[in-house]
Structure 1
Amino acid sequence: MSTDECTSWREHVIKCLRERNSKECDNFKEIILQNNRLIGQCAQLKSDNLKLSVENEQLRNSVSTGGAGPNVAIVTLEKKLLEELTELHKRKGENSQMIVDLNVKVEQQKKLIAEKEQSLFEQQTANNRLRAEVQMLHSNLEELKKLNTTMLDEHTALHLAFSASEEKLRSVQDENRCLLDRLMRYKSKDADKLNEENESILRKRLPSIFRKRSDKLKRDIEDAVREPGSSNNFSSPVPRSSTSPVPFGSCAVSDNECEEASINGAMDALGMGDDDYISGRFSAGEAETARPSIDTLKAAGYLGQPNPTKIIMKFEAHENESHAVRWSPVERMVATGGADRKVKLWDVGKASTEPRAVLSGSSAGINSVDFDSTGTYILGTSNDYGARVWTVMDNRLRHTLTGHSGKVMAAKYVQEPIKVVTGSHDRTLKIWDLRSIACIETKFAGSSCNDLVTTDSLGSTIISGHYDKKIRFWDIRTEKQADDVIMPAKITSLDLSKDCNYLICSVRDDTIKLLDLRKNLVISTFTNEHFKVSCDFARATFNSNASKIACGSADGAIYIWNINGFLETTLKGHSFGSGFFHSTAVNAVSWSPNSNSLASVGKSKRCIIYSNS
């Protein structure tokens, strides 16, 4: 043992002895002093008593020998002795009472010391237990640090593997695209050869039918151009995806009824005239029809509502990037949400560039906003793992829904205004009861949810789009999950038509898919060579009658497709003046439910309202 340790040990022993003396002696110090004083007094009294006894004995001896003078002295001494004896008895009684009181105090002090010792023992026991717990927590912390290091190493390895797989996937997709282009060129050549054969056969065998049919269709087109409100035979243009070519050469030459029925049926199905049919091109899996120009169809009113191309309002919506936009179902009002943690309401009817209201309460960026069907409540989701409900009338925060362990990307009303469903990056969907402000059900999807929709006002079916490329269907009445629909890439948004028959899904492979929910099948794909999905939460949307689809692109343009498959217009900066349109990626668009207006927001902080009038 070293000198320092020995010195420290001795000082510790001395300190402990001093503490023990202070605890055991200080409490009885007064009692000991009183006791010592009483013992001294008692000794003094015994000495006085002995002296008086000696004097008394001497006096008695003197009395026995005789003399009057001594008798008087004896009486005086006896009287004095009696008084002193009385005083001594009195003092003895007082001292006895003091001893009794001091004994009571000693007992009380003993009880107090016992209580203190018991408390000290309990505190020492608790201290030892806490020391053991601290030691265990330190060991757990070390284990967690080691585990965290291992997990970080595994995450790094997985990230590298994912990057390599993604690069490989992109190269395979590029190769697949090249092969697909080559295949389409080969099929186009085959179709050209087939068209030439059909053209030669039809011109030889059916000249009268061709002339009759051509004259009739020309008259119909002229009537349609003169009457823009009529629909005639061009009410729904042909989609890009159609069936394979019709085998016109399969009927016998002598059977005129079979030939005419076959040709008439094919032409009616394709919606074109005889000359158009002859010059048309077909390919396996796709039919490109030579139909009247887009301007002619627009003039005739066959494409429904005109596209919104005129900017009626533009403003800086948020301090930085804007993530979400939604029209009110009852007012000319737009709600936007951005990375500045605020939801803002804008009065489009008054064309005010100042917000009608600013809804605060979120501690992170807003990912989505949505109104209930009456426009009374507005629902917003946030990166702070929560969702919030505000009232539009007084702009007050009514409910805060917390419980997810990841950012909440989407929320919809399930049973208005009682329940809400939220989808999060923590791979779960939660159903909330707004009356008790509690989560009543959690659905484990197994993948991050980017968007969700509900099929009706009762919210019996929930449709969610996920990072793992799957669209999942949830029936909350039976708690059963229907078959998933797999997309070619991760899903960024979903939108449902009003009749709940069709669903559009924007996919990260720069396409938008149209699904028929009655069959759970993809029936059409919308894309363009310049269209790029801007981010993982880019929103595509139907218009009010589900006849058009709009979606923003990474190049700042907004693409509008007709539901039948062809691109109607593109809202670009260079088309109408670059100062008015988005200069950076468009994150979300929203059609007005009551008019032919369109709202859009993007990374440039700007919100733009388009209309056709």
Structure 2
Amino acid sequence: MNIINLNWKSNILSQLKEQNCQQNGYQRLIETYNHILENNSNLQNQCFKLEKDVNHLRSINTDLEKKAESCEELEYIKNKLEKANEEVLTNLREKGEVSDMKLAREVLRLNHALNDLNEKFTKEEIKAQQYKTENDELHETLQSTEYHLNEVLQTNEILQEEFQALQNKIDQLQIDYNKVKPACLELEQQLETAQRINKQIEDELLVYKNQQAAMHDYENAKFLDKCQKKVEVQKQDEGNIFFDDDVVFIPSMKSSSDLYQDPCVNSNLFGDGYDQICNSYDESLNRERKSIAQGLSNGGGKLLTNLVRKFTNGMHNNSIDKLYRTSTNCSIASIPTRIKASWNCTDLEVYALQFQPSGSILATGCSDKMVHLWEISSIGQQEKYCSLQGSQGAINALDFDNEGCRILAGCSGDKAYIWSYGEQKTLKDTCTGHQGVIYTCKFISGTKLVTGSADRTIKIWDIYGRKCIQTLFAGSKCHDLVILDAAGTIISGHYDRKIRIWDPFANNCRTELQYDAAITSLSFNDEKRTLLACFKDDTLKLIDLRQNKTIYTFSNARSQLDRDSS
């Protein structure tokens, strides 16, 4: 029954549709055609917009045409769309009617195709933007690379020019070396020959020295035996050093074979305030034999102080000595009885004293930043000669040149000063370069000088060039130094308890002598074979520079040092 009802309804519906189609077929066809035309115009507008976008993308991404494969697909879809439109129009014209269902399907298909096309265009725009960003980055990288490449090329050209200049210089030096090499070989041969001859002469001289030393020791021993026999009757003293009235007897040095086998002699038994120490064995013995016979007044003194003073000023004989003296060690010292002269140099402290080579002028360095020069007469009277100004610190060290026309001063202001004190009393030059207090300074020659400082360096200066020509790195504060020979060999005493001997032809230390206390001052005798060193432990050591060994050690409980340099 239900099937019959459904068939009846469907039959009526189909008949009504056929009737409507027969009556209104052309009207629907026209409406459908107008609808298709509207859709077609909309699609064409959209296609026109899409074409504009495609052209815009093409103009922007000209460099990316190889990668833009989507443009070919877009052209293909456009052609396909045009063909579809033509087919639609052709079918409409030929058949005259198109069912609503087909048109709707066609419209849906075209809408889907349009949506797909829009999505593809969106993706292509994104890719195009990415490609544009990458292209900009690559362009910037290329510019930066070109800039660095230009810099590298310029640097390479400069290096090539420098290399060429150095190569030319090396060639020139090689030519000069080839010219000098034969002369150098000849000089080396001459040097070897001179060294052999010098070695032979030194051996012969050493033998001769040993013979003379043995002879002098024998004479001195004979005289001391006589003196000891006389004194032993009056005094019972077992010490090595003893007094006879106002005469002090010091044992003589032993022969060279036994000299360095015995321990150093300690002179703690010495008194205070001795005046002079004799230098020559023969004249000392003769003069003191007369003084013993006459008998001098009793007294006390400071032997250590006078030892330093005599070694500082140098031991000189009053008469001309034609014999070659192997040693300046004295055996007798007389006791001073009074002060010969005294005066007030300044209201402040005096740090340095130095006699002119002639002995007629005494220089005093004080904490008032001035150097005062005094004329000393033969009878000990003093008169103010002049005062040299210009220093920026207290004067710690003084030295005269050999000509006696210039004076060198080292101060606590990190500088050394050179004055002339002749007709023109002016500040000639200033040596600047140390980073600490200058403790000592010496003239090496008329053209060079040396300074030692608390900055652990020793500097050698060219006077006329007004510059430092060599710096010796000692590693410790330099308290004092002396010049050993005309070649400029420097002996320096340091805070690290070492005495250093520097090679004048190289920038290094030739010999180091280690001791138990810091060295405060140095001095040697005229022959420059014996060095006297003062130490911070209140001792004096007499050092043989030929053997680099200590001969005697002097000490006294009353002798005390309160400064690092003395």
Which of structures 1 and 2 has the larger relative contact order (alpha carbons within 8 angstroms, sep 6+)?
1
In our comparison, the structure showing a higher alpha carbon Rg is: 2
TM-score w.r.t. length of structure 2: 0.43
